[in-house]
Amino acid sequence: MTHLDLMDVTQPERFTQQRVVNLFRDKLKYIYLNNWQDREGNSNIEEVLLMEYLIRKGGYAPALARRAIYLLQKEANSNDRNLYGNNQKVYEMLRYGVEVANPGEKYQRVHFINWQHREQNEFYLAEEVTIQGHREKRPDIVLYINGIAVGVLELKRSFVSIGDGIRQNITNQQPEFIEKFFSTIQLVMAGSDAMGLRYGTIGTPEKFFLNWKEDVADDSMLQLDKYLLKICQKERLLELIHDFVLFDGGMKKLPRYHQYFGIRAAQEHIRRREGGIIWHTQGSGKSIVMVLLAKWVLENNANARVVILTDRDELDKQIERVFMDAGEEVKRTSSGEDLMNQLAEPKPRLICSLIHKFGKKKWTILTSSSRS
């Protein structure tokens, strides 16, 4: 008899939430901040926690830390952009840091997340986090890194559709509710004991919320618990945020599980300086794989150059747009000759081309007699 046979999946939502809180605290080693239903001033940027991290673990002077937090809050709460724009700007600041300086001093880059020594980051969770927006809302569980909210989880009792949790997350992102809270959020999740876990990010339509699959033969625990342990494990959560977030023409995207593991496998081949093939079926998301992998190559090898060959102009334009949204310079070649000329120069590092631009060539087929 498995653990699942012993579990009552009809248990109340509150029981599930308490078990999930214990999972984060005891197994994933997140710091439990408490039930924040009645706490005033809840925010997606918990200033006290972030200030403490920047000074104590980041080693920044208090004045610099305070200035960096102010700039982060300013961008997160901007009224000049929509949620997508604010979230993209905040992501850039989380990913690359922000330059600040005291009057008369040189600028210094302040990093809100330590990507080089990831064990130095502080992971927190709070439950029943009351947020004041145009209307009050209360996400079930919020995940924080160094005091910055990066994940939201809505839980539903087993006889309620997990779609209700997804729709609740989507509703909360609307301007008439708590849209500004989601400007720092990277991972949006909904779960139940009966239906497991679904994940997306800000702006993800309900039909595009995803299942995670890993160790599928393991039925020693509920699917909800199993995949929360997989996705929200500290190192993997940081990896997902750092290497697997894509802003694509107004739509923020996260990878499906097969894209994540395909890219991970490709990274290992590249580290060993080996080639390889990722086999895709139609609609499996190959353009996202190409973009995420190319970004990783360029960032992790200063001497690398990447050529992306596609067979459709639409896909070629999409790749160009995604890289431009990601702040990467990309050159679309006009012909096979143009491609060869570009490759003869040290830049650009990233080149896109259509395979049919090479034209048709007559090739000499070498037979055993012609080689002798």
pLDDT along the chain (372 residues), means of 10: 47 86 98 97 98 97 96 97 97 97 87 97 98 93 98 91 96 97 98 95 97 94 97 98 93 95 95 88 80 91 88 81 76 85 87 76 50 41
Is the distance from CB of 148 to CB of 44 less than 8 angstroms?
yes
Give residue 245's pLDDT. 96
- Whole-number Å distance between alpha carbons of 265 and 271: 10
CATH number of 3-248: 3.90.1570.50
Give residue 357's pLDDT. 65
DSSP structure string for 38-69: S-TT--SB-HHHHHHHHHHTS---HHHHHHHH
Give residue 360's pLDDT. 58
What residue ranges in the chain does DSSP mark as E strands? 31-35, 98-100, 108-110, 123-127, 141-145, 148-155, 187-192, 196-200, 246-248, 251-253, 306-310, 331-332, 350-354
Q: By three-state DSSP, how is residue 307 classified?
A: strand
Is the distance from CB of 235 to CB of 118 less than 8 angstroms?
yes
Give residue 2's pLDDT. 47
Q: Provide the whole-model pTM.
A: 0.89
For the chain, the domains span: 3-248, 257-358
- Whole-number Å distance between alpha carbons of 42 and 185: 14
- Whole-number Å distance between alpha carbons of 358 and 372: 31
Range 257-358 has CATH code 3.40.50.300 = yes
Contacts made by residues 93-98, CB under 8 angstroms, sequence distance 24+ = 94/148, 94/184, 94/241, 95/241, 95/242, 98/68, 98/71, 98/72
For the chain, what is the radius of gyration of the CA atoms?
23
Give residue 327's pLDDT. 67
Give residue 282's pLDDT. 76
